[in-house]
Amino acid sequence: MRIEKFNELIQPVTEFVGKRNLDDSLAKELNTEIPANGTQFKTIEKACHAAIAAGWMCAEGGEGRRFGRVMEASDDTFGLSVDVVDLDNIVGPHHRHPNGEICMVMPIDDSACFDGHGRGWCVYPPGSDHFPTVTDGEALVLYLLPGGEIEFTGKRPQ
Q: Read off the pLDDT of residues 74-119 as tens digits, 9 standing for 90 and up.
A: 999 999 999 999 999 999 999 999 999 999 999 999 999 999 999 9
The model's confidence at residue 157, banded by pLDDT at 50, 70 and 90, is confident
**What pLDDT, on a 0 to 100 scale, did the predictor assign at position 9?**
95
CATH of the domain at 75: 2.60.120.10
Q: Which domain holds residue 72?
A: 3-152
Residue 103 is assigned to a structural domain of this protein: yes
Q: How many domains is the chain built from?
A: 1
Question: Tens of pLDDT along 111-129?
Answer: 999 999 999 999 999 999 9
Residue 158 has pLDDT above 80, yes or no: no
CA–CA separation, 96 and 51 (whole Å): 27
| pTM recorded for the entire structure | 0.95
Backbone region of residue 120 per phi and psi (left: phi > 0; alpha: psi in -120 to 50; beta: other values): left
Which run of H or of E encompasses 109? Answer: none
Q: Is residue 117 part of a domain?
A: yes
Q: What is the pLDDT of residue 25?
A: 95
Q: Within a domain: residue 157?
A: no
Give the whole-angstrom CA distance, residue 18 versus residue 99: 12
Note whether residue 56 is domain-resident.
yes
State the pLDDT at residue 1. 75
158 within a domain of the structure (yes/no): no
Helix segments in the chain, DSSP class H = 3-18, 24-33, 39-54
